[in-house]
Amino acid sequence: MAESRTHVYRRRRAKHARSRPRVRQNRSILLVLGLIGGFALGLLVLAGGPRIIKTWQKSHYISRAEENLKQGKFSAAIDSAQQALRFDQDSLAAFRILAEATEKQNQPETVRWRGEIARLTPREVDSQLNLASAALRFGQLDVARKALENVPKESRDSAAYNVVAGWLARAQGDEAGVDRHFAAAVEKEPKNELYQFNLAALRIKSPDPQKSASARESLERLAKVAPYRAGSLRALLSDAVTRTDLAAAERYAQELQMTAQVTFSDYLLCLDFYKKLDEKKFAALLDKVKPVAARLSSDLALLLAWMNDNGMAAEVLRWTEKLPAEKTTSPPVAIEIANALTLQKGWSRLRRWTRSGSWNEYEYLRLAYRAYAVRQTRQSSADAEFGSLWRAADRASEENPEREIRLARLASKWNLPTEAEQLWLRVAQNPLTRREALDALFDIYRATNDLPNLYLTAMRLHEASPDEPLLAAEYARLSLVLDRNAKEGQRVAQEAFEQAPSEPLCVAAQALSLYSLGRTAEGIELLRKLAPEKLHQPHTAVYAAVLLLDQGQLDAAHEFVDAAEGRSIYAEEKKLLQEALQKAQSIQTVEPATQAPAPSPSATANAMPSPAPVDLSPR
């Protein structure tokens, strides 16, 4: 029995001994496979781990930024969103948060972030419109224009597009464009009260009676809607004062003063009205407004400015002498007192007022007023001192658009053309103020008959506001009269005429264009369609005379020559008319000598009757 157990035991040991190599082999295989798997897993972690970590960190910062934005912690939201950009430079979510947060803080960086969103979503209309709106808000008109150009053409008939395009047109001084786009927005969304208000507030000033009457009706209705009540009443009051509808103006003035949104500027609007309506009521309201204005320097300056603009500079000086010095010796109040002294021509007193002290950020204005006072005293050293002071004021305004335009306005107001020109040229570089600057430069060059610069400025005005037919016609007229790019002038004249076929300037420009193309008879036909009073306006009469003279119609031309020469016409028009007269006279002198046979002057005259005059009266 014992032997049997021993035998079994030995057999088992032998069997186990034979299986050990296979177990060791299997274990080795598993170990190798484990090492390979671990190595592969390590590679995966090394390769994808940073990306996973970055994704997690970006999401963490985005979540934190969104939470801060909801809580109104805009600076913290900006910080977190910028941290998210460290892990993803094209994070759309981060850009949206940055755009909204900076917009809430009224920061110009909004334009940058809206631009990034538009870059990442180029076919998204709202992205482009948001960029254009932000750019308009911060005066970056070129950026706004480019953003609107990026809106697909099939999306440009939407109300939202037309509203933004309308505000861009207003910023560029293109009133026709504003009207067109605001009207399109109302047409697309006729129940939108904001769009209705924008259009009505614009059209109530229209010279078209139907448009202004319709706008008045819309504003009367919107005056009963809380968000638009104050704005509608302001527009209605201003319109009633302009039309001298005193009964309506008094009603609007009383209603405006009762609104919760009444501002100090509204009191000034009411003063405008009462000044026209009733001297006693005006004086009573002014006495009521004065102590209210004296509480805040900003309101006090507004009232003084209004008084200066309304011929009350002497009263400004009398009243401010009674006010405490701490209310009057610092800007903005000190500036309006200087303005009153200028209007009253108190040059010695103005020099004393601006002699010393610091007007802080308005120091450039102190220097400007002092320079003007020095110039007006006309002392022997005045020119040198004026030049020194004005240059100091100019330097103090450089690189600051608000200062430059304010100083430029003063230079134009004071009739300092050389100084004004240099300032307006700088101001014209800013898209937001370009239209005002170009208008001012045009006036300067017109007054000095600087025709080359006048032409260039007219071209820039047309480029800035291509939809304004009067600007286009003036550019075309100068192109043709001065022979500067006549083909362009002919094209622009045609476009201007098509836009406004009843405007004398547009008709005259098109007639001149036809004359330059050798189609004088067609030009005369166009002029003939104008009403007699418009046709005999000096500038239109010039071109009527020139075209008739070109056709040999001397008798018919005489009345227009008289209408032009007896009035004020431009230097280039004078030259054009004189050349046409000389040419007609030379032809009249030469023609009889070329006829053969000519037995006598009387016989020649009888043989060659003068052509019948062209009828220029309207049909």
User: Which residue segment(s) compose the domain that 560 sits in?
Assistant: 472-591
Does 30 map to a domain? no
Spatial CA neighbour of 406 closest among 305, 481, 273? 305
Alpha carbon 281 to chain centroid, angstroms: 38
pLDDT tens figures, 470-487 = 999 999 999 999 999 999
% of the chain with per-residue pLDDT over 70: 86
Cis before 597? omega within 30: yes
Structural domain tally of the chain?
Answer: 1
Does 516 map to a domain? yes
Cα–Cα distance for residue pair 547/480, rounded to 1 Å: 14
Cβ atoms 474, 455 nearer than 8 A: no
Does 492 map to a domain? yes
| Burial class for 343, CB neighbours closer than 10 Å (0-12, 13-18, 19+) | middle
Q: What angle (nearest 5°) sits at the alpha carbon of residue 454, between those of residues 452 and 460?
A: 105
pLDDT tens figures, 71-110 = 888 899 889 888 888 888 888 888 999 998 998 888 888 9
Report the CATH number that the domain containing residue 570 is assigned in CATH.
1.25.40
Cα–Cα distance for residue pair 316/344, rounded to 1 Å: 10
pLDDT tens figures, 33-84 = 666 665 555 554 445 556 666 676 768 888 888 888 888 888 998 898 888 8
| DSSP single-letter state for residue 271 | H
Does 15 map to a domain? no
Cα–Cα distance for residue pair 600/451, rounded to 1 Å: 48
pLDDT tens figures, 502-526 = 899 999 999 999 999 999 999 999 9
Q: Which of 11-15, 245-249, 383-387, 451-455 is predicted most confidently?
A: 451-455
% of the chain with per-residue pLDDT over 90: 46
| DSSP single-letter state for residue 360 | G
Q: What angle (nearest 5°) sits at the alpha carbon of residue 320, between those of residues 273 and 283?
A: 30
Does 109 map to a domain? no
pLDDT at residue 244 is higher than 50 = yes
Tokens of 216: 């008045």
pLDDT tens figures, 115-169 = 999 999 988 889 999 999 998 888 787 888 889 989 998 888 899 999 999 988 8
Does 370 map to a domain? no
pLDDT tens figures, 395-437 = 999 989 899 999 999 999 999 999 999 999 999 998 778 888 9
Residue 597, amino acid: P
